[in-house]
Amino acid sequence: MTDVFISYSVSDEEQAKKVYSLLSEYGIKTFLAGISLEPGCNWSEEIKENLNKSQWVLFFATESACKSQAVQQELGGAWLSGKEIIPVIWDIQPSELPAWVKEKQAIDISKGNMELLKPVVDKIAKKIKSDEFVGGLILGALVASLIWAASKK
């Protein structure tokens, strides 16, 4: 399962890969097309599937990304499906964000300060671990209930 989907323009791939590495250090399952797509796969299906599975979308909001039709489609899909979209800007102003993310608080790394992303990544990692813990509790309760029901027969 993909936890975080990174939406970016190919011209910004170097920066996106740095953030992918940061997320990976935290053990967060991240989709970045330039790394995650396997040779020969149907890339548009893989992108849709991973966007649908993700809970968060990091939108690398650059001038080129805001002009990219593919990025706009990803953002529209994320917005329509209620994903948590986090804009990361470095060569535009928050007022230049596309309409559907303009009201989201952006992280400005224009001065090359990737450290600003660490609190966000830490928050995402904690939420994922909490969700996994709750999921484990629910699964454990279901298994215990099945065992108890089977023993009553």
Reading the chain (153 residues) residue by residue, the pLDDT tens digits are: 788 899 999 999 988 898 888 888 878 889 999 999 888 989 889 999 989 998 889 999 999 999 999 999 999 999 899 988 988 888 888 888 888 788 888 888 877 666 777 777 777 777 767 655 444 545 555 555 566 556 665
pLDDT of residue 134: 46
pLDDT of residue 94: 85
Q: What single string gives the DSSP state of each residue in 6-59?
A: EE--GGGHHHHHHHHHHHHHTT--EE-HHHHPPTTS-HHHHHHHHHHH-SEEEE
Dihedral (Cα; 137, 141, 143, 146), 10-degree rounding = -170
pLDDT of residue 148: 59
What's the CATH number for 4-151?
3.40.50.10140
Alpha-carbon distance of 31 to 7, in angstroms, equals 9
pLDDT of residue 109: 80
pLDDT of residue 139: 52
